[in-house]
């Protein structure tokens, strides 16, 4: 199998790790033109890398029509570490099935069909990205006469009801389960004097009940008293209410991880090599990498299926394994 090298990113097996392309998905770059030496996409085709002689650009696609290019920076780990950034869904808390269920309920409401079920092949498209991107996928496949705005209305109706039930102790059984070994992992990081940032593409109204519920389950008290920084995708935009940026800039864009480190923890870009990020999803691995940090993958998500495992500095099966690696 042939390989392809991208400056500051690495060497990859083509059509194994990455998929070789002749032309970028937006048509802006072609191999052999304007200094382009190679183009390749992750296996899930969410991100493309455009390689030049001494640099690499990453093209992050958008189901909402706003793709973006980012420079790829060299990364390494320098000791002593200063901070660990970690994902919420799938890494800290197991909750993907719950949120896929909410997407399913939303689509059922759009179709006015309470018996509607998502198909197994839908799963990669309804997890790991923004709410609007998940909903856009379902609209295109199942109800093209509907709009994202209509879908978001139903989505937040279902979400608000279920979150209220969970916070009251009456929610869907098993909705949020702390990752195995979470308490020992978090306390182990604190014992080493590391700052900890929690990073999620989830909106605040989704993410906060998750982490509160998880901390309640493991007897860790108030998450705000434990984490050094918590960054979510903000607050949803609704008619008559102010919203915040988040739906067009989630993972695999770098901004959530970059903001957690630079603004939340006060670590400048020049000191990024003393920071690592932990993720279970391909989108999260790319987000960490484009923010300039070394990603550490953890098992249980879609890192291997998405083709992003080679982007990881390390890959471990559990949080206990990650702690030993650190």
Tell me the domain boundaries of the chain: 3-71, 83-94+179-325, 96-167
Is the Cα torsion angle 134, 137, 138, 144 positive or negative in sign? positive
Q: State how far the alpha carbon of 19 is from the alpha carbons of 10, 54, 166, 238, in Å.
A: 14, 21, 42, 39
- By C-alpha distance, which of 24, 89, 82, 10 is closest to 250? 89
pLDDT at position 295 is 98
Residue range 164-178, pLDDT digits in tens: 887 777 777 778 899
CATH 3.40.50.1000 fits 83-94+179-325, yes or no: yes
Q: Which of the residue ranges 14-18, 38-42, 72-76 would you say has the lowest mean pLDDT?
A: 14-18
- Give the start-end residues of each E strand in the chain: 3-6, 10-13, 18-21, 38-42, 47-51, 56-60, 68-71, 83-87, 93-94, 177-178, 195-199, 229-231, 275-279, 294-298, 314-316
pLDDT at position 216 is 87
Backbone angles phi, psi at 143, to 5 degrees: -150, 70
- By C-alpha distance, which of 175, 145, 138 is closest to 159? 175
Beginning with the edge strand found earlier in the chain, give each strand of the sheet holding 275-279 in spatial order. 229-231, 195-199, 83-87, 275-279, 294-298, 314-316
DSSP state of 263: I
Please give the radius of gyration of the chain, using alpha carbons only, rounded to the nearest integer.
Answer: 20
DSSP state of 260: I
Cα–chain-centroid distance for residue 72? Answer: 18
pLDDT at position 20 is 94
Q: Which of the residue ranges 40-49, 58-67, 123-132 would you say has the lowest mean pLDDT?
A: 123-132
CA–CA separation, 139 and 133 (whole Å): 10
Residue range 220-272, pLDDT digits in tens: 999 999 999 999 988 888 778 888 888 888 899 999 999 999 999 999 999 99
Exposure string (b/e) for 96-132, b if CB count within 10 Å is 16 or more? bebbbbbbbbbbbbbeeeeebebeeebebbbbbbbbb
Residue range 137-159, pLDDT digits in tens: 999 999 999 999 999 999 989 99
Q: Across residues 20-31, what is the average pLDDT?
A: 96
Q: Across residues 6-32, what is the average pLDDT?
A: 92
Under the banding of pLDDT at 50, 70 and 90, the label for residue 196 is very high
Residue range 87-104, pLDDT digits in tens: 999 999 998 889 999 999
Q: State how far the alpha carbon of 204 is from the alpha carbons of 6, 72, 163, 252, in Å.
A: 36, 29, 11, 18
> What's the chain's average pLDDT?
93
Please report where in the chains the tokens 């279902």 appear, as a residue. 158
The token pair that represents 286 in the structure block:
């790319």
The token pair that represents 68 in the structure block:
């973006």
Residue range 258-314, pLDDT digits in tens: 999 999 999 999 999 999 999 999 999 999 999 999 999 999 998 998 999 999 999
Q: Hey, how many other C-beta atoms are within 10 angstroms of the C-beta on 19? A: 17
Residue 1 has pLDDT above 70, yes or no: no
Under the banding of pLDDT at 50, 70 and 90, the label for residue 119 is very high
pLDDT at position 246 is 84
How many residues are given for the chain?
Answer: 326
Q: Determine the 3-state secondary structure of 255 from DSSP.
A: helix
Q: Across residues 47-76, what is the average pLDDT?
A: 95
Q: Quick check: 176 and 166 in contact, CB under 8 A?
A: yes
Residue 49 has pLDDT above 60, yes or no: yes
Q: Across residues 39-67, what is the average pLDDT?
A: 94
pLDDT at position 138 is 97
pTM: 0.87
Residue 188 has pLDDT above 90, yes or no: yes
């Amino acid at each position: 199998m042939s390989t392809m090298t991208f400056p500051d990113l690495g060497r990859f097996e083509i059509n194994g790790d990455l998929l070789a392309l002749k032309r970028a998905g937006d048509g802006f770059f072609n191999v052999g033109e304007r200094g382009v030496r190679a183009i390749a996409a992750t296996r899930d085709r969410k991100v493309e890398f455009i390689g030049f002689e001494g640099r690499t650009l990453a093209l992050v696609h958008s189901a909402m029509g706003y793709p973006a290019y980012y420079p790829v920076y060299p990364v390494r780990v320098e000791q002593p570490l200063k901070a660990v950034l970690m994902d919420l869904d799938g890494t800290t808390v197991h909750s993907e099935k719950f949120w896929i269920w909410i997407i399913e309920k939303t689509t059922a409401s759009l179709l006015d069909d309470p018996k509607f079920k998502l198909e197994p092949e839908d799963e990669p498209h309804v997890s790991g990205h923004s709410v609007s991107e998940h909903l856009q996928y379902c609209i295109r496949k199942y109800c093209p006469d509907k709009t994202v705005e209509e879908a978001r209305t139903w989505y937040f109706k279902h979400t608000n009801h279920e979150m209220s039930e969970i916070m009251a102790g009456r929610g869907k059984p098993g909705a949020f389960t702390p990752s195995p070994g979470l308490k020992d992992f978090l306390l182990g990081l604190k014992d080493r004097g590391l700052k900890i940032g929690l990073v999620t593409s989830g909106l605040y109204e989704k993410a906060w009940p998750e982490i509160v519920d998880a901390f309640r389950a493991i007897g860790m008290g108030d998450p705000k008293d434990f984490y050094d920084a918590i960054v979510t995708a903000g607050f949803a935009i609704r008619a008559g209410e102010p919203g915040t940026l988040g739906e067009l800039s989630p993972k695999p864009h770098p901004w959530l991880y970059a903001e957690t480190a630079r603004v939340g923890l006060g670590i400048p870009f020049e000191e990024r090599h003393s920071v690592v990020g932990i993720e279970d999803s391909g989108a999260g691995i790319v987000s960490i990498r484009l923010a300039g940090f070394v990603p550490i993958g953890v098992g249980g998500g879609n890192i291997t299926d998405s083709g992003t495992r080679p982007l990881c500095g390390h890959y471990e099966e559990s949080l206990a394994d990650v702690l030993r690696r650190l």
